[in-house]
Structure 1
Amino acid sequence: MIEMEAPLLKRRLNPFLLVSTVVVLSLLAGLSVLYQSELNDLVTDRKNLSSTIEEKNSRIASLESQVNNLSTRSSDLNQSVKNLREGLAERISTIEEKNSTVERLRNDLEDKNSSVELLRAENQKLNSTINDMRLDFGTLCENNRENITQRGREICDEYFGQ
């Protein structure tokens, strides 16, 4: 007779236990695949977030650099404005001083012009007096030639060239 091969298992397997074990293992395999894909998605999301954070940090650093540059420029411009205002204040002061000098010189000129007018009027009076004296002297020399002394005649001759 043929000897039967010895069964591997001496006991008979419980089909319910076998089915439940296969179901549990299938569930575990399915969950493992599911969790693995979720884990991959999470890792990918994390890498994307890290990349985004690096980009944002780079952008922040760039913006901070721009802010520093703009702050420096603003400070420089404020200093330039301050210097220009000081220069403008000095120029205004100089202009006011010059205007004051011009006003003083105008007043002096008006005073001088008034003095010149007074001197002209006095000069006219003196010229008029001199002319009157010449006429009187001329009349004296012509009308009273016989009554004046020799010296008086000489003076009249010198003066009138006779």
Structure 2
Amino acid sequence: MTVLLKAIHIGGLACWCAALIALPLLIRAYGTTDNPRLYTRFRWVTHMGYIAFATPAAILTITAGTVLIFTEQVFDAWMLAKLAFVAGMVLLHVWFGHIIRLSGEAPSRPPMTLLLLGLIGALVCIMAVLVLVLGKPPLEMLEQFLPAFALQPRQGPS
């Protein structure tokens, strides 16, 4: 069961990360065009990429990851740091969806600097998650600032 959950989690994460990198590039490359056919295709690709690919991958990744946290009893400081970066990925995911929705209401290309910041933010979050998961670094300095109950599982009902 754990192996299957990990495979689902890793596969979903790979798809979600690919979408977080591809979406800002797609928005920038094809966000505004004078050709109505190209604009319709752009809208379909970004909408379906977000609704049918990126969002299910994110939900699958987060769900499998949450189940893994509790089945494997992983309550280390590196996991809390990883979850902070995953929260950043979620915020970027929502922001890219907002930009896609706005592009459907009024064909206007978002500023390059905002999309570049979103792409850089996604890359930073993705790399941080990979470093924290693969390295599992001891983060004792982080544990000093957390209450003891945040680093231990809760006791079930007696």
TM-based fold match above 0.5: no
Structure ranking higher on relative contact order (CA contacts 8 Å, 6+ apart): 2
Identify, as 1 or 2, the structure richer in helix: 1
TM-score w.r.t. length of structure 2: 0.28
TM-score w.r.t. length of structure 1: 0.27
Larger Rg: 1
